[in-house]
Structure 1
Amino acid sequence: MHLLSASCVCALLITAALLHRVSGSEIVGLYGETLEIPCNNGAIKADDVLLTKWKYDGGDLLVKNKDQNVSITATDEYKGRVSLAANSSLLLSAAKLTDQRTFTCMMVSSSDIKEYPVSVEINKMPSSLEISDKAEELEIGKRTKLGTCVAQDANPAAEITWLKNNERLVADEKGISIQASVQVDPVTGLSTTSSVLEYSAKKEDTNAKFTCISQHKGLTSSPVSFNITYSTENIVLQVIAQEPLVEGDNVTLKCEADGNPAPTSFMFHLKGEVMKVENSDTYTITNVSRDNSGEYKCSLIDDPTMEATKEVSVKYLDINLSPSGTIVKKAGETLDLTLQIDASEDSKVSWTKDNVKLDKEPKFTKVIFSESGRYECEVTMGLLSRKASFELVVEGAPVISKLIKQRGEDGKHKVLICEAEGSPKPAVSWSINGTSLDESPFVNGKITHKITVVPTANLTVSCTVSNEFGTDSKAINVSSLFEDVRVDKQDTLEDGDQTKLVVGVVVGLLVATVVIGLAYFVYMKKSKQGSWKTGEKESGSSEEEKKLEEKVEENSQKAEV
């Protein structure tokens, strides 16, 4: 008996001496799922393990001796929930909140005994995240309960955040109030969090998206929007019409107002007349005239003081050109032109004659043939324009304005040109027969006629033009082609003789200059010799030298000419 007690005491002393408790670790499991609790994490090789045992503060759970099957020793709720994994981890099925405790793994080897405590935490996401008790509408400036966000059955208790358009809302106790509360289920121990948002809406919150989120893996509720109601603060009247708005067009008046709900019926004030339009924001005036110009208004039916105004301007441009159509005048007569303009704004006037722009308005004090043509005036006012035109025909007896002669390019014929003005178109005739080159188009009462002739003698040629109002004739002297040739030759000979004469004069002057120079040289030589012999002064010789020098210069100038 004493020997047995002594051996047990000795075994306990040896076990206590060998036992080492390793510092604990923590793991997090998910509610309702199988939880794997690790043992030693490979610190002891599996072949060295003689015994493995799992326990908790309420008793043993299971034990496994080397080369033997696992023995479940638990007798409480864990009896049917625990098992051992191949790596000696404890498998705990259907994890629940009561499993949040410390489980210890003990491993016995031939040389050591170690314990590995593991602290277990069980988390659970909320089963749902929803916004309930939602407000039907929000009124601007009034703090109203927007809704309650509920996160049910979570562990730990959910922390709820409110978002507006994905931006976090922070309670300020003025326009935003957030109150949270937590309830714990006495059976499951799970927590349900409720968060109430009170919010003072603004106009820009129309169509805003409100959501709430939980910290559990970013769990987010479905977004909700609220109808923001507010009274009309602004009203605008639009004029919808073509630009520019001219007589005969249609114009639509459109009244727009803010507010929620926005007004759908309006009063339109049409220059003293009031039209009530229900379930529409537009009113159309058809076939407008200049009398429709003026100020227009629209207002709310239930609040006439809330109104908007707009000025409507109907553009108009009327012109009257007198005379018009085709105007026939005799040359020298006067044409009075009148252009009347009736316009809603300042206008600009431009004129063209036969599609060529004129610098100024045409004036017809005494009409002439060249002023015949089509005249058009264009009056513009912004994008609006009007045109009017007339055709001026100037009639009268023809008049020859030019009769000239030209030598042909080959020098073997002459070209006679006769230009005349008159209307109707005058007929052209010549006093001699010739070859007709061409006749210009009859434009603005003007015509040009050309013929070619080969005169063998000097002669006088006349051009005659005529129409129903009269006749005009002019003559021109035309010399013979042979006479022209003789004159040209004589001019050539005279030019040659004059050239020879000039050359002869120049050569003679040069020779005379040389002779005088030599004589002067000889004279000066002899004069100097006489002076040396007698010793007389050379004052007389100096005067003679000056005279000779002047003669030489004079002859030199003549030679240069």
Structure 2
Amino acid sequence: MHSAAILAGVFLSLLHQVCPQEIITSQYGETIHIPCGPQDSRSEEPFLIKWKYEDKVDGTSGDLLVKRKTNATITASDEFKGRVSIGKDDSLLITNAVLSDQKTYTCMMVMISDISEHSMQVLIRKSPETVELTNNPAAVETGKRTTIGECSADDANPAAKLTWYRNDKPLEHDGKGIVITVSETVDASTGLTSSVSELQYSVEKEDMGALFSCGVQDSALRSKAVNFTINYPTEKVSLEVVTPGLLLEGADVMLRCRADGNPPPSSYVFYLQGKEVTVEDQTSYTLTGVTRDQSGEYKCSPSGDTSLVASHNITVHYLDVALSPSGKLVKAAGEPLPITLEKDASGKVTVAWTKNNASLTEEPQFERLKYSDSGLYECKVSMGDLVSTHSFELLVEGAPVITSLKEELSADGAHKVLSCEAEGFPKPTVEWSGINGTNVEESDYVDGRVTHQLTVVPRANLTVTCLVMNNLGMDSKTTEVSSLLVSHIDDTEVKRMDKQDQTEESGDPAKLAVGIVLGLILVTLALGLGYWFYIKKSKQGSWKTGEKEAGNTEESKKLEEVPQKAEV
């Protein structure tokens, strides 16, 4: 019997298996779930399960619970009392996890043919809830290492690792310009750790406006970002002209002196061409009603520090223009008119001329005035935004002059068109003598020029005179107008005779001869009749289309002496 018991113990010890230890991580305050080995590895259902723990730090150990078939008995001490239970899958459940729960837990399963143990190590983790940045200075000075602030993250396990950021870029401790000091404190009751990180930083001017913050490493937790005023001494001074655009004579010019120090100087000295002016609690000074003589160099400096001086050259712009002649001018045609444009400016100018609002390509020159030169002339002299405009109105007058008198045959050959072209100012009137006509036309009066046209049907050769006049004088020209009657009859008879020749060409030679003789007789009669009309009208002195002969020789002479006014 004794030997059998020993063999049974040895057999059971050989069946005893211990699985490798696993690590389970759980969050502080939550329920710890510890499985009792893999469910699929069981060859049979255990008839006894026992949960126990071991604390390798302080060497303590103990039982937690025992389950026989479906009944579980809690054997836990005060530390676990009320917090442990067993799950449906035989896992150990520990509620309200605390740091002291970080132990090694073992599940022992007793089966008919085997005994196995499955151990697991539990780690409790807790992240800090917030990160705070405190003890920030209101202002710091450049060149000095200054405490920027303290970053804290409380109640964490393991202790939170804090990182500092400048404009979202991490800062690293270098022991010189950047010094980061970390301290940790463990809460005796909870075992949780609070971390504090202090940043000392050497500020430069480039840090003006930079944002500093801190956060927990490998976490999204980040403190609010802060910035602070950076004080630094003045190193550079500048002088600027605030007044926009060109500085023109008579304008007010504002000068502003700036220093790059922080805080800036409270007063400045302006050096105004040998004169010194000090301004308090402001940075600007205004020159009123400047003149061209005030162009030159101006300076300024912070009050009490003449080693820092800024300067600025000021140019007061001006544009003086004189145009001769000016106003309204009345000149005689043919006279010269000199144009003088005088310019005195502080820079390069452009000149633009217009006549009656139409652009001219060059300055007008009048060696001999023409009627077409009349008009409103405007000269615009520009220098940037500075513009000076001057003008004169020219009126060229003179007695009228006939520039052309001609006759033209109409396209159908039934009448003639007499054209009389004249120029002068004021506008000349046009009269005809020696003939009456129809369809009187007058062109527009442009550039002192007008054309008068008269449509006539002369039946005899005539001498016609065109007379033009205004209040300054008159002019006339005479032309010989040939008759249309003879040529008209000749053309008709020739055509008729040509037709007769064509019809009688193949007929009796005797009839052809008679026709030719009759044609010659008719031509002779027509020539004689035309000559008679010519002699008749020549005695009268003038001829009107469609009028009958009337009056005696004396009346004819009187009619010749009176000019006949054209119908306009």
With the shorter chain as reference, the TM-score category is 0.7 to 0.9
The 1:245/1:94 distance shift into structure 2, 3 A limit, reads same
Deviation at 1:167, TM superposition (A): 0.9
Does 2:210 align with 1:213?
no
TM-score normalised by structure 1 residue count: 0.78
Residue of structure 1 aligned with 2:480, choices 442, 465, 477:
477
Distance in 2, matches of 1:405 and 1:296, equals 80
Structure 1: state its 5+ residue gaps.
493-561
Distance in 1, matches of 2:248 and 2:491, equals 76
Residue of structure 1 aligned with 2:15, choices 13, 18, 35:
18
Residue of structure 1 aligned with 2:451, choices 439, 448, 468:
448
Maintained 8 Å contact 1:158/1:216:
no
Number of the residue aligned with 1:556 = none
The 1:244/1:433 distance shift into structure 2, 3 A limit, reads farther
Deviation at 1:305, TM superposition (A): 3.4
Residue of structure 2 aligned with 1:384, choices 383, 386, 394:
386
Number of the residue aligned with 2:68 = 65
Deviation at 1:449, TM superposition (A): 1.7
Residue of structure 1 aligned with 2:416, choices 409, 414, 417:
414
Question: What amino acid maps onto 1:102 in structure 2?
Answer: T
Distance in 2, matches of 1:9 and 1:232, equals 97
Question: What amino acid maps onto 2:116 in structure 1?
Answer: K
Question: What amino acid maps onto 1:151 in structure 2?
Answer: A
Question: What amino acid maps onto 2:485 in structure 1?
Answer: F
Question: What amino acid maps onto 1:378 in structure 2?
Answer: K
Deviation at 1:144, TM superposition (A): 2.0
Distance in 1, matches of 2:371 and 2:63, equals 135
Number of the residue aligned with 1:313 = 315
Maintained 8 Å contact 2:270/2:300:
yes
Cα displacement string for residues 187-218 of structure 1 (whole angstroms, at most 9, x for unaligned residues): 44333333222211222211212122223643
Residue of structure 2 aligned with 1:363, choices 362, 365, 384:
365
- Helix, strand or coil for the counterpart of 1:49? coil
Q: Which moved more, 1:159-168 or 1:302-311?
A: 302-311
Does 2:407 align with 1:405?
yes
Number of the residue aligned with 2:39 = 42
Maintained 8 Å contact 2:44/2:111:
no
Number of the residue aligned with 1:32 = 29
Distance in 2, matches of 1:366 and 1:128, equals 98
Question: What amino acid maps onto 1:258 in structure 2?
Answer: D
Distance in 2, matches of 1:488 and 1:317, equals 77
The 1:157/1:352 distance shift into structure 2, 3 A limit, reads closer
Q: Which moved more, 1:89-98 or 1:274-283?
A: 274-283
The 1:105/1:359 distance shift into structure 2, 3 A limit, reads closer
Deviation at 1:119, TM superposition (A): 0.6
Deviation at 1:228, TM superposition (A): 1.9
Distance in 1, matches of 2:146 and 2:317, equals 54
The 1:232/1:482 distance shift into structure 2, 3 A limit, reads farther
The 1:264/1:446 distance shift into structure 2, 3 A limit, reads farther
Report % sequence identity: 48
Number of the residue aligned with 2:79 = 77
Distance in 2, matches of 1:408 and 1:384, equals 60
Number of the residue aligned with 2:466 = 463
Cα displacement string for residues 399-424 of structure 1 (whole angstroms, at most 9, x for unaligned residues): 21111112223322211111222222
Q: Which moved more, 1:348-357 or 1:420-429?
A: 348-357
Question: What amino acid maps onto 1:472 in structure 2?
Answer: D
Maintained 8 Å contact 2:406/2:419:
yes
Distance in 1, matches of 2:104 and 2:422, equals 131
Deviation at 1:105, TM superposition (A): 0.6
Question: What amino acid maps onto 2:215 in structure 1?
Answer: I
Instruction: Give 4+ residue runs of structure 1 displaced > 6 Å after superposition.
Output: 5-8, 486-492
Cα displacement string for residues 285-333 of structure 1 (whole angstroms, at most 9, x for unaligned residues): 4554434433333432343433333333333222222221221223343
Distance in 1, matches of 2:436 and 2:266, equals 94
Residue of structure 2 aligned with 1:173, choices 172, 175, 179:
175
Structure 2: state its 5+ residue gaps.
55-60, 496-568
Distance in 1, matches of 2:5 and 2:82, equals 33
The 1:276/1:400 distance shift into structure 2, 3 A limit, reads same
Q: Which moved more, 1:302-311 or 1:148-157?
A: 302-311
Distance in 2, matches of 1:397 and 1:39, equals 134
Alignment RMSD (CA, Å): 3.1
Maintained 8 Å contact 2:15/2:115:
yes
The 1:421/1:242 distance shift into structure 2, 3 A limit, reads farther
Deviation at 1:370, TM superposition (A): 3.6
Deviation at 1:11, TM superposition (A): 6.0
Residue of structure 1 aligned with 2:395, choices 393, 398, 421:
393
Question: What amino acid maps onto 1:196 in structure 2?
Answer: E
Number of the residue aligned with 2:440 = 437
Number of the residue aligned with 2:242 = 240
The 1:350/1:137 distance shift into structure 2, 3 A limit, reads closer
Distance in 2, matches of 1:385 and 1:165, equals 52
The 1:79/1:390 distance shift into structure 2, 3 A limit, reads closer
Distance in 2, matches of 1:46 and 1:117, equals 19
Deviation at 1:474, TM superposition (A): 0.6
- Helix, strand or coil for the counterpart of 2:38? helix
Distance in 2, matches of 1:311 and 1:489, equals 95
Number of the residue aligned with 1:159 = 161
The 1:40/1:125 distance shift into structure 2, 3 A limit, reads same
Number of the residue aligned with 2:299 = 297
The 1:407/1:311 distance shift into structure 2, 3 A limit, reads farther
Maintained 8 Å contact 2:137/2:149:
yes
Distance in 2, matches of 1:394 and 1:183, equals 108
Distance in 2, matches of 1:228 and 1:184, equals 37
Distance in 2, matches of 1:14 and 1:319, equals 128
Number of the residue aligned with 1:106 = 108
Deviation at 1:66, TM superposition (A): 0.2
Distance in 1, matches of 2:424 and 2:318, equals 43
The 1:457/1:355 distance shift into structure 2, 3 A limit, reads farther
The 1:488/1:317 distance shift into structure 2, 3 A limit, reads farther
Maintained 8 Å contact 1:321/1:338:
yes
Does 2:87 align with 1:90?
no
Distance in 2, matches of 1:7 and 1:139, equals 90
- Helix, strand or coil for the counterpart of 1:17? helix
The 1:357/1:29 distance shift into structure 2, 3 A limit, reads closer
Distance in 1, matches of 2:457 and 2:127, equals 123
Number of the residue aligned with 1:195 = 197
The 1:149/1:353 distance shift into structure 2, 3 A limit, reads closer
The 1:487/1:377 distance shift into structure 2, 3 A limit, reads farther
Maintained 8 Å contact 1:125/1:216:
no
Deviation at 1:359, TM superposition (A): 4.1
Deviation at 1:60, TM superposition (A): 1.1
TM-score normalised by structure 2 residue count: 0.78
Distance in 2, matches of 1:338 and 1:167, equals 72
Residue of structure 1 aligned with 2:227, choices 225, 228, 233:
225
Maintained 8 Å contact 2:429/2:468:
yes
Question: What amino acid maps onto 2:24 in structure 1?
Answer: I
Figure out how many residues of one structure are paired with residues of the other and give that number: 489
The 1:217/1:372 distance shift into structure 2, 3 A limit, reads closer
Deviation at 1:462, TM superposition (A): 0.8
Cα displacement string for residues 507-542 of structure 1 (whole angstroms, at most 9, x for unaligned residues): xxxxxxxxxxxxxxxxxxxxxxxxxxxxxxxxxxxx
Question: What amino acid maps onto 2:325 in structure 1?
Answer: P
Residue of structure 2 aligned with 1:53, choices 50, 55, 75:
50
Cα displacement string for residues 478-505 of structure 1 (whole angstroms, at most 9, x for unaligned residues): 111234547889999xxxxxxxxxxxxx
- Helix, strand or coil for the counterpart of 2:423? strand
- Helix, strand or coil for the counterpart of 1:189? coil
Distance in 2, matches of 1:145 and 1:208, equals 15
Maintained 8 Å contact 2:145/2:201:
yes
The 1:168/1:406 distance shift into structure 2, 3 A limit, reads same
Deviation at 1:65, TM superposition (A): 0.3
Deviation at 1:262, TM superposition (A): 4.0
The 1:311/1:486 distance shift into structure 2, 3 A limit, reads farther
Number of the residue aligned with 1:141 = 143
Deviation at 1:477, TM superposition (A): 1.1
Deviation at 1:121, TM superposition (A): 1.2
